[in-house]
Copies of this chain bind each other. A is one copy, B any other.
Amino acid sequence: MQEYGEVKVNVDTVLFTLKDDRLHIALAPRSAEFKKDEMALVGAMMDGNRHKSLEDVVRQSLKDKAGLDKVYFEQLQTFSGTTSPDGRPRDIRWPSITVAYIALVPVEALQSKSAIERGLTLLPLADVGELPFDHNRIVSVAISRLRGKGAWSTLPGHLLKPNFTMSELNDVYNKVLGQKIDKANFRRKVLEHGMVVSVGQKVWREGYRPVEHFKLNDKVSTIDIRL
Cβ of A87 < 8 Å from any Cβ of B? no
In the complex, the answer to whether A53 meets B80 with C-beta atoms within 8 Å is yes
Cβ of A72 < 8 Å from any Cβ of B? no
Q: What is the CA–CA distance of A224 and B227 in the complex, to the nearest angstrom?
A: 11
The 6 closest A-B pairs by CB, nearest first: A5-B48, A48-B95, A5-B49, A150-B151, A53-B81, A54-B80
A78/B99 contact (C-beta < 8 A), A6-B48, A49-B5, A226-B224 known = yes
Cβ of A113 < 8 Å from any Cβ of B? no
Q: What is the CA–CA distance of A8 and B4 in the complex, to the nearest angstrom?
A: 10
Of chain B, the residue at the smallest CB distance from A223 is: B150
In the complex, the answer to whether B99 meets A4 with C-beta atoms within 8 Å is no
Stoichiometry, as copies per complex, reads: 2
- Residue of B8, B48, B81, B150 touching A52 (CB-CB under 8 A): B81
Cβ of A37 < 8 Å from any Cβ of B? no
A5/B150 contact (C-beta < 8 A), A78-B54, A78-B99, A224-B226 known = no
CB neighbours (8 Å) of A149 from chain B are 224
Of chain B, the residue at the smallest CB distance from A50 is: B5
Cβ of A75 < 8 Å from any Cβ of B? yes
In the complex, the answer to whether B150 meets A224 with C-beta atoms within 8 Å is yes
A26-59: CB near B (< 8 Å → 1, else 0) gives 0000000000000000000111111111110000
In the complex, the answer to whether B222 meets A47 with C-beta atoms within 8 Å is no
